[in-house]
Structure 1
Amino acid sequence: MDGKRDTRSLESNHLKDHDIKEGDTFEDPRLDKLWNKAKSSGKFSSEEMMSLKREFQHHKDKTHEYNILMDTISRTEGELRQSLP
């Protein structure tokens, strides 16, 4: 936000080769991997797993919100460039 154009890709956290599987909970390969590892470890109580799931869902929601915002900014910048002489 320093006035320079962000040249990073506006893609989401999804890996290009990550197909969403039926067992995927968060549709994000990194969150799904962490979730499955925590679930299979047996080291967490059901209350801790519920808390972890809430945290991961919150992260997923915030990432989605960020991607929408970045898309909106990108479109707005494009419209501004087109309207300038």
Structure 2
Amino acid sequence: MSARKGIIRPVYEDATKQKWSTRIAEWNPRLKRPVGKPRTRWRDDITKTVGTQRWHTIARSESLQDWCSRRQAIPLPDQPPQSHRGRTRR
């Protein structure tokens, strides 16, 4: 847990310019990715999970309980994810 805090700390240290929740959601993790794959963004994962790009508007208008239940209502895929070449990952 302390390692995770160390990674996220620079993101919300300067919270005077923006809300910390926005800074965390818009943060791009600086991880190395395979050639040809875009960097991972937190909002991409949330958009994929919720099923809409308007997730931030929905999150503000719903209660925390409704927002959390929305994530549980999304069905999980039946098949493993496939790579960009159409082969299954191992």
TM-score, scaled to structure 1: 0.33
CA radius of gyration, larger in = 1
Greater RCO between the two (CA within 8 Å, min separation 6)?
1
Q: Which has the higher helix share?
A: 1
TM-score, scaled to structure 2: 0.32
